[in-house]
């Protein structure tokens, strides 16, 4: 299947990615190629097959619902990575 | 040279006080200084910190203390979090990121006394099979500097091959430990999914990511695999399965073990030199008492297309966290939150990361989910069932790790699809969550060939045992640089 420029722009917007004109064209062609290759999966009969997301058979690994405080020093180091902070919290531009 | 030692040799020499950890660490650092300008395996070198740790290790040894890796220098792939040390995933978006905590496997190696001396280059966020997708330059294969080391753990494998360290840690999602181990002529093991904690690995494909060792010998892989295995409350996909004493297990005989040869892996256009090396290895294993059985895995031909739906889908979700808000490159130039996200990601992420995010976003988007993601997860079930069935009849499966030896830098980097096909022999084990090891298996035109052994889930011991018997009975080639 061939992806048009408007499709690529739409996907890039969903993915929150700025792409240059050059990238839009290049990725359009490359993604179309890859999707063409992947389409061979349609020839496999999977009518009564369940999907696999987990391979080891683990189900519902539970743990106690308790607060496990992050060591203060590590927390401060993590906060120091943010471009803007206030009162030990990450500051962001207004959302609404 | 001390930097050429294996873990086993270094342990003995340190224990007997024949050498000091300071000398050992210095030898590795000097080797990095001398060769890494050409090989470019390391993203960061921790010279000062490593020597401080080495002094401490020597003091502990002098007091009669002992830990399995006490005083032994290693290198970790740069998508593994190392506290207080720059951790970039070879991406511009994390160029100045200092990890605030250690990955669980790093904690375990540290507790065993290992000394981190450098962080190794990779394909950005582990997306690739050549280490050409790094934002910090391509790593070169120590056997032939005009060729790629494989990927994505190319820096780790090249560093081990060039004796810049005693061992290295990598991560494998669809072949990222096995492919570079094969191209660089070293041992690389991807354990069973859930065998070792993923906590602190920069996530790529959460349903197939595993950390694992890259070493000079099978016994060294056995040592490291035992140390990094086990459950972790920070990774609830780790499984509470018995951890075997791999070092003891690999001493056992292989007489009567049944090895499956899947015909699909031997007819798919593999290079003559690779086929010859594999056939000699098979003959050798026969002499050593293994029995070979022809098997067929017809659905594994869909492993690459399945992988390139599952992986980009999970990548698009996992890489959403790189948004310019909490860490990493942040472009504050725009007017609203959307602009910060889009500008920061547009500037900070490289071409292959962008391609995978786009592909995954598309595959998961409304109207396409059933046709792509769901379909791929169903075919994944067929691949898994087929391999599980085969492994009921045989003890392990033997294949080439790659259809060819290391290719030239730049040869395939303009065609993403061609690069994806590099993973043809390694993705099946990842999708099925099976353990697999790449073992050096001779040379073709002077370049290393790798043999892949795939085992049943949590049966790392059997593939290591066969690998060890093969290694003992084959000649080891020394890299001359």
Question: Three-state SS string across chain B, please?
Answer: CHHHCCHHHHHHHHHCCCCCHHHHHHHHHHHHHHHHHHHCCEEEECHHHHHHHHHHHHHHHHCCCCCCCCCCEEEEECCECCCCCECCCCCHHHCCCECCCCCHHHHHHHHCCCEEEEEECCCHHHCCCCCCCCCCCCCCECCECCECCCCCCHHHHHHHHCCCCCEEEEEECCCCCHHHHHHHCCEEEECCCCCECCCCECCCCCCCCEEEEEECCHHHHHHHHHHHECCECCECCCCCCCCCCHHHHCCCCCCCCEEEEECHHHHCCCCHHHHHHHHHHHHHHHHCCCEEEEECCHHHHHHHHHHHHHHHHHHHHHHHHCCCCCCCCCCCCCCCHHHHHHHHHHHHCCHHHHHHHHHHHHHCCCCCCHHHHHHHHHHHHHHHHHHHHHHHHCCEEEEECCCCCCCECCCCCCCHHHHHHHHCCCHHHHHHCCCEEEEEEEEECCEEEEEEEEECCCCHHHHHHHHHHHHHCCCCCCCCC
Nearest CB to B381 within list A50, A94, A95 = A50
With CA atoms as reference, the chain A residue closest to B240 would be A58
Q: Which residues of B431-460 are buried (b: 16+ CB within 10 A; e: fewer)?
A: bbbbbbbbbbbbebeebbbbbbbbbbbbbb
Which chain A residues are Cβ-neighbours of B330 within 8 angstroms?
83
- What pLDDT, on a 0 to 100 scale, did the predictor assign at position A50? 96
Tell whether the model's pLDDT for residue A94 goes beyond 90. no
Which chain A residues are Cβ-neighbours of B345 within 8 angstroms?
15-18
For residue A9, the domain's CATH number is: 1.10.20.60
- What pLDDT, on a 0 to 100 scale, did the predictor assign at position B392? 98
pLDDT per position as a tens digit, A52-92: 989 998 988 888 889 988 899 999 999 999 999 999 999 98
Which chain B residues are Cβ-neighbours of A92 within 8 angstroms?
325, 337
Contact (CB, 8 A) for B156 and B214? yes
Catalytic residue among B26, B40, B77, B190: B77
B384 touches chain A (CB under 8 A): yes
Contact (CB, 8 A) for B107 and B197? no
Residue A56 lies in a domain: no
Interchain CB distance below 8 Å, B457 and A83: no
Contact (CB, 8 A) for A52 and A45? no
Does the active-site annotation cover B77? Answer: yes
Interchain CB distance below 8 Å, B337 and A40: no
pLDDT per position as a tens digit, A6-34: 999 999 999 999 999 999 999 999 999 99
- What pLDDT, on a 0 to 100 scale, did the predictor assign at position B477? 73
DSSP bridge partners of B42: B120
Look-up of token digits 């830990």:
B67
Interchain CB distance below 8 Å, A11 and B193: no
Cα B103-B109-B114 angle, rounded to 5 deg: 130
pLDDT per position as a tens digit, B97-152: 999 999 999 999 999 999 999 999 999 999 999 999 999 999 999 999 999 999 99
* Residues in Cβ contact with B459 at an 8 Å cutoff, skipping those fewer than 6 apart: B192, B396, B435
Interface of B with A in 83-142 (CB under 8 A): 83-84, 97-98, 100-101
Range of the domain at A10: 5-43
Residue A76 lies in a domain: no
Kindly report the nearest CA distance between residue A20 and chain B, in angstroms: 9
Contact (CB, 8 A) for B192 and B220? no
* Residues in Cβ contact with A24 at an 8 Å cutoff, skipping those fewer than 6 apart: A5, A8, A9, A12
Residue A57 lies in a domain: no
Interchain CB distance below 8 Å, A14 and B365: yes
Number of A/B CB contacts below 8 angstroms equals 162
Q: pLDDT tens, position by position, for chain B (481 residues)?
A: 999 999 999 999 999 999 999 999 999 999 999 999 999 999 999 999 999 999 999 999 999 999 999 999 999 999 999 999 999 999 999 999 999 999 999 999 999 999 999 999 999 999 999 999 999 999 999 999 999 999 999 999 999 999 999 999 999 999 999 999 999 999 999 999 999 999 999 999 999 999 999 999 999 999 999 999 999 999 999 999 999 999 999 999 999 999 999 999 998 689 999 999 999 999 999 999 999 999 999 999 999 999 999 999 999 999 999 999 999 999 998 889 999 999 999 999 999 999 999 999 999 998 899 999 999 999 999 999 999 999 999 999 999 999 999 999 999 888 888 888 889 999 999 999 999 999 999 999 999 999 999 999 999 999 999 999 999 999 877 776 5
d(CA B106, CA B82): 7
Interchain CB distance below 8 Å, A41 and B433: no
Does the active-site annotation cover B26? Answer: no
Interchain CB distance below 8 Å, A54 and B384: no
A24 touches chain B (CB under 8 A): no
With CA atoms as reference, the chain B residue closest to A59 would be B237
Interface of A with B in 67-96 (CB under 8 A): 74-75, 77-78, 80-83, 90, 92-95
Interchain CB distance below 8 Å, B457 and A56: yes
Residue A37 lies in a domain: yes
d(CA B155, CA B76): 9
Which chain B residues are Cβ-neighbours of A19 within 8 angstroms?
346, 354
A29 touches chain B (CB under 8 A): no
- What pLDDT, on a 0 to 100 scale, did the predictor assign at position A96? 74
- Which run of H or of E encompasses A74? helix A72-79
CATH number, span B2-250+459-472:
3.90.1300.10
User: Which three-class secondary structure state does DSSP give residue A47?
Assistant: coil
Counted domains in chain A: 1
With CA atoms as reference, the chain A residue closest to B331 would be A83
- What pLDDT, on a 0 to 100 scale, did the predictor assign at position A69? 87
Which chain B residues are Cβ-neighbours of A5 within 8 angstroms?
none
- What pLDDT, on a 0 to 100 scale, did the predictor assign at position B473? 94
- What pLDDT, on a 0 to 100 scale, did the predictor assign at position B333? 87
With CA atoms as reference, the chain A residue closest to B205 would be A53
- What pLDDT, on a 0 to 100 scale, did the predictor assign at position B480? 63
Interchain CB distance below 8 Å, B379 and A23: no
Tell me the pairing of strands B396-400 and B258-262: parallel
Question: Helix crossing, B375-393 with B303-318: angle to 10°?
Answer: 120
- What pLDDT, on a 0 to 100 scale, did the predictor assign at position B2? 97
Q: Please state whether the peptide bond connecting residue B161 to the residue before it is cis, i.e. omega within 30 degrees of 0.
A: no
Residue A65 lies in a domain: no
- What pLDDT, on a 0 to 100 scale, did the predictor assign at position B268? 66
Which ipTM did the prediction report?
Answer: 0.95
d(CA B23, CA B19): 7
Interchain CB distance below 8 Å, A82 and B332: no
Q: How many Cα atoms occupy the beta-carbon half-sphere of B40 within 13 Å?
A: 18
Kindly report the nearest CA distance between residue A51 and chain B, in angstroms: 4
Q: In Å, how far are A77, B26, B98, B116, B228 from B46, measured between CA atoms? A: 19, 12, 13, 8, 22
Nearest CB to B239 within list A40, A50, A58 = A58
Does the active-site annotation cover B176? Answer: yes
């Amino acid at each position: 299947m061939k992806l048009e420029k408007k499709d690529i722009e739409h996907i890039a917007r969903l993915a929150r990615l700025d792409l240059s004109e050059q990238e839009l064209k290049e990725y359009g062609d490359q993604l179309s190629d890859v999707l063409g290759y992947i389409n061979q999966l349609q020839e496999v009969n999977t009518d009564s097959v369940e999907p696999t997301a987990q391979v080891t058979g683990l189900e519902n690994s539970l743990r106690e619902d308790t607060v496990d405080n992050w060591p203060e020093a590590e927390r401060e180091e993590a906060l120091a990575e943010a471009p803007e902070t206030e009162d030990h919290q990450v500051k962001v531009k207004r959302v609404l | 040279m001390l930097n050429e030692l294996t873990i086993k040799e270094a342990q003995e020499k340190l224990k007997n006080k024949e050498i000091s950890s300071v000398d050992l660490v210095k030898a590795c650092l000097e080797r990095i200084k001398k060769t890494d300008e050409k090989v470019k395996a390391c993203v960061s070198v921790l010279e000062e910190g490593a020597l401080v740790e080495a002094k401490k290790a020597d003091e502990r040894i002098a007091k009669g203390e002992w830990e399995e890796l006490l005083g032994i220098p290693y290198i970790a792939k740069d998508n593994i979090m190392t506290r207080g040390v720059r951790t970039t995933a070879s991406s511009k978006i994390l160029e100045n990121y200092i990890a605030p905590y250690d990955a669980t496997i790093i904690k375990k190696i540290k507790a065993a006394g290992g000394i981190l001396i450098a962080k190794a280059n990779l394909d950005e966020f582990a997306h690739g099979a050549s280490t050409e997708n790094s934002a910090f330059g391509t790593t070169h294969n120590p056997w032939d500097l005009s060729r790629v080391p494989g990927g994505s753990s190319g820096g780790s494998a090249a560093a081990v091959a060039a004796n810049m360290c005693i061992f290295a840690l990598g991560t494998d999602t669809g072949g990222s430990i096995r492919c570079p181990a094969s191209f660089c002529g070293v041992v690389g093991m991807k354990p069973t999914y859930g065998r070792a904690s993923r906590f602190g690995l920069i996530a790529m494909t959460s349903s197939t990511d595993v950390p694992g060792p890259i070493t000079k010998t099978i016994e060294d892989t056995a040592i490291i695999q035992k140390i990094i295995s086990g459950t972790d409350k920070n990774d609830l996909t780790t499984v509470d399965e018995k951890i075997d004493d791999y070092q003891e297990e690999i001493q056992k005989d292989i007489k009567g073990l049944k090895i499956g040869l899947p015909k699909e892996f031997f007819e798919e256009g593999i290079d003559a030199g690779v086929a010859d090396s594999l056939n000699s290895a098979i003959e050798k294993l026969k002499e050593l008492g293994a029995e070979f059985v022809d098997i067929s895995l017809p659905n594994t031909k869909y492993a690459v297309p399945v992988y390139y739906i599952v992986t980009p889908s999970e990548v698009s979700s996992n890489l959403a966290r790189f948004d310019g808000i909490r860490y990493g490159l942040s472009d504050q130039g725009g007017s609203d939150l959307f602009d910060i996200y889009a500008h920061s990601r547009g500037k900070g992420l490289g071409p292959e990361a962008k391609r995978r995010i786009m592909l995954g976003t598309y595959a998961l988007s409304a109207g396409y989910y059933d046709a792509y993601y769901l379909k791929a997860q169903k075919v994944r079930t067929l691949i898994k069932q087929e391999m599980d069935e085969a492994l009921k009849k045989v003890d392990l499966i033997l294949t080439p790790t790659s259809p060819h030896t290391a290719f030239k830098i730049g040869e395939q980097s303009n065609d993403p699809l061609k690069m994806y096909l590099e993973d043809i022999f390694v993705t099946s084990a990842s999708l099925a969550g099976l353990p697999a090891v790449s073992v050096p298996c001779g040379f073709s035109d002077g370049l290393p060939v790798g043999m892949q052994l795939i085992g049943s889930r949590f049966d790392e011991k059997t593939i290591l045992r066969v690998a060890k018997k093969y290694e003992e009975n084959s000649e080891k080639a020394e890299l001359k640089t």
